[in-house]
Chains A and B, each alone.
Chain A
Amino acid sequence: MVIRNGLMASFTYRAHMVFQILGSVVGIVVLWFLWSAIYAAAGTTTVRGMSFGQTFLYVGLATALFVMMRTWIEWDMNAQIRTGDIVVHFFRPYSYTGWSLASSLGFVAGNLITITVPSLVTIFLIFHAPLPPWINVVLFIPALVQAYLLSFLIDFAVGVTAFHTESIWGVSASKESVVLFLSGGLVPLAFFPDPMRSVLLVLPFASMFNTPIALLAGGITDLGQIAGRLALQTFWVVVFWLAVRWYYRASVKRLTVAGG
């Protein structure tokens, strides 16, 4: 119900929706030209073992995922916490975290329709990117769900900082750039120097973008390796969930004891 309402709410702004669809398609086209130019300048057909086609598929998918998972939930929380409207949720028999997750999912559903699907259509149909093996497509789904959960938990934690700061702009902007860069959301992790890459692969950020994308772009096909990456994702989801729950409770406790 909350998910459905979130989706309906995002459809309220019709012009915004149309521009989102257009914007995502234009974004993919820009990426194509950007990376064509980079490959032309490099003068080789493969850079660090990745052909132009693979790289384009990778960054295209990264963009599609990034915009899909971006639900601005932290900004909703920021507004609610600053105005005090968050108390309305305290008068209802549910947990605020659960509510946020549901409304964020509503926006993801909206993003899926207005951004992700047009992007994927553009990537696979217009630019004829190679399709991955079917087993990868199947395993992409749990990888995507876990990646989304991680993304949500990080956003929620950023939102909770609004209890302590005047504006979450700084925290949110830093989070966005750190996550995008270290997760391989901006540049494929394959392009990083080897020692750095092996560290990044273990960090939670890789679980957000690199893992689901590598599955769909056909970067990893070994089943054991895939299972390992999925387990690592699960591990990070659990760790973040516990940490965020503790952080949220401590922040609310501070509010109820000290007053707001």
Chain B
Amino acid sequence: MTSNTVQDSIIVLEDLKKHFKVLNRSEGLAGAFRDLFSRNFRTVKAVDGVSLSIRPGEIVGFLGPNGAGKSTTIKMMTGVLEPTSGSLLVNGKIPTKQRQEYVRNIGVVFGQRTQLWWELPVIESFKLMKEIFRIPQAEYEANLALFDKLVNLSALYGQQVRNLSLGQRMLCDIAASFLHNPAIIFLDEPTIGLDVAIKAQIRTIIRTLNRERGTTILLTTHDIGDVEALCQRIILIDHGKTIYDGAIGQFTKMFGSWRTVKLLAQEGKKDELDAALSTIGERFAGTRPETLEGEVGWSAVAVDQDQTPATDVLAWALSSLPVQDVKLEEIRTETVIAQVYAGALK
């Protein structure tokens, strides 16, 4: 990377590593006792040389299977963990140094945790944030008005946090992290376990604030809907290393030879169809069954045309499976990512 891009960037990671020492556990009661005195450590390379740079105002999707090192990287970027080696500069600062000054300009939302005061009405937590981050009154009011316009948030202000639904709480948590107009927001799994309507509201709030305030957003998610709705760029990480970093469209193009074959089962024969498709990989090279969400009755198969023409799969399906309708489509991002997790880029 050139020094020019580094200067323009708001987040710069260079060869960042985080290694943990983990005790090798022995089996059984005797083993558990031995472990009390054991010095038998092994090193786990949670993050093993990640380099990247992010420009101000970008929304970047940070993807990877569970245990890939996403959370560890986020924790280093937010100043919770100290890197083992490598350099890390966010907003011109080293997160673990001068923590108090650093966090003034970032916002963090961990989907599993709340920063709101559990026993109190939502608005009290907002007032507390205003106090803690010394948010000017005008700025505070402007933000509240914006939240209200976007997702009608004021309806929730009077409710105790403990009485909110998960989705409502998440909306409030995200709003709270935007209150002090930070330069960067880290969102870890913001839509996990939420219904479609709330997901849409959360995406609206994130997209609008990114556009209107120029906030840089780094987002980890397993929901491809989030990525497609929000991110221009994705970074894929696995086994502590970056395996893809670039535009989302380009990423999908790398899998240009792939198609999705969708099949509609005959009345009452969906189970029979799915059972037949579950082993399709054995019948045709370069095919795999897929799960579809929100398309009732339809089943799907991903096909790599470099190995098997999609027409072969269609011909077979129409002649020997209980199918009443078919569709042939471009590969879905979700499938591509699943392919990459399964090792397609290695």
Contact = CB atoms under 8 A, between A and B. Distances in A.
Interface string B21-55: 10000000000000000000000001000000000
Contacts of B114: 88
B189 interface: no
B214 to A, nearest CB: 21
Contact of A88 (B18, B106, B113): B113
Chain B: number of interface residues, binned into ranges:
35 or more
B82 interface: yes
A93 B133 contact: yes
B93 interface: no
Interface stretch (A4-12, A42-50, A51-59): A4-12
A225 interface: no
A91 B115 contact: yes
Contacts of B132: 92-94
Provide the main secondary structure of the chain B interface.
mixed
Interface residues of A, number: 22
Contact of A91 (B78, B82, B118, B128): B78
Contact of B124 (A5, A256, A257): A5
B120 A5 contact: yes
Given A5-B128, A12-B160, A257-B82, A85 B113 contact: yes
Contacts of B75: 87
23 contacts: A5-B120, A8-B119, A8-B120, A9-B117, A9-B119, A12-B160, A84-B113, A87-B110, A88-B108, A88-B110, A90-B78, A90-B80, A90-B99, A91-B78, A91-B103, A91-B106, A91-B107, A92-B133, A93-B101, A93-B104, A93-B132, A257-B82, A259-B72
Interface of B: 18, 20-21, 46, 72, 75, 78-82, 96, 99-101, 103-104, 106-108, 110, 113-115, 117-120, 124, 127-128, 131-133, 160
Interface of A: 1-2, 5, 8-9, 12-13, 83-85, 87-88, 90-95, 256-259
